[in-house]
Amino acid sequence: MESGVSDSSRSAGEAPAPADKLEIQSADIVCLAVRPDQYPPSDLPEIAFAGRSNVGKSSLLNLLTGRRQLARVSSSPGKTRTINFYLVNDRFRIVDLPGYGYASISREITGSWGKMMEDYFRSRPNLKAAVLLVDSRHEPTPQDIQMYEYMKYYGFGGLVVMTKADKLTRRELARQQEEIRKALSMDPGDRIIPVSSLKRTGKEELLETMRQVLGL
């Protein structure tokens, strides 16, 4: 199924969307999993999103998909304790990985989250890329650094999203990008995309990057 609007459903006089532009027209959750045997079939390309609790992951996924309640935004960090699979345009999946780094969550639960992510990275042949979310207002945490190293170890690093970019001025944002690059030991070819779910900035750049890495 193509992601663009078909000629038969397009209004008269409406210009077709560019063939090389990713437009998300449908997105639905299809699976919540804690073990590999609960994953959906590995028949579609996937892109995974990871970040510490309360970094703004749910808001970002809602922004990308145009669905306000696709991923539930919670005021209680650490609420997501499963790997959530979203089917997008019937062509690929967005995978929401459990948040990490929230102090009040027990060590036992945090350890189980780590195993869930390790199982996913190791066993998913259709995973094309992973995105690390970091809060633009703060330096990357030790857990952020560890997660980025972990992603690169499995060959899925190279893309970082700075959330809540509207909280900084342009000068502050540019300075913070350099600090994040240094803290994560990012390679010259690794990308940082500032995004504001509130101001809806950075969405198109991230969608274009997703289109490229997913091979759509």
Q: What's CA 172's distance to the chain center, in Å?
A: 23
pLDDT at 14: 40
Domain count, the chain: 1
Instruction: Give the three-state DSSP class for 203.
Output: helix
In a domain, 205, yes or no: yes
In a domain, 163, yes or no: yes
Residues near 165 by beta carbon (within 8 Å), at least 6 away in sequence = 136, 173, 194, 195, 196, 199, 201, 202
Q: What is the mean pLDDT of each run of 10 residues along the chain (216 residues)?
A: 34 47 91 93 96 90 84 50 92 92 48 76 94 95 91 89 95 96 94 94 95 92
Domain that holds residue 60: 28-214
In a domain, 175, yes or no: yes
Q: Which of 135, 129, 139 is nearest to 194 (CA)?
A: 135
pLDDT at 186: 95
In a domain, 10, yes or no: no
In a domain, 17, yes or no: no
pLDDT at 111: 56
In a domain, 122, yes or no: yes
Residues 48-101 pLDDT 10s = 999 998 899 989 999 999 877 676 554 444 445 789 999 999 999 999 998 886
Question: What pTM was computed for the model?
Answer: 0.82
pLDDT at 118: 85
In a domain, 8, yes or no: no
In a domain, 199, yes or no: yes
The CATH number linked to 140 is 3.40.50.300
Which stretches does DSSP call E strand in the chain? 27-33, 46-51, 83-88, 92-96, 127-135, 159-163, 191-194
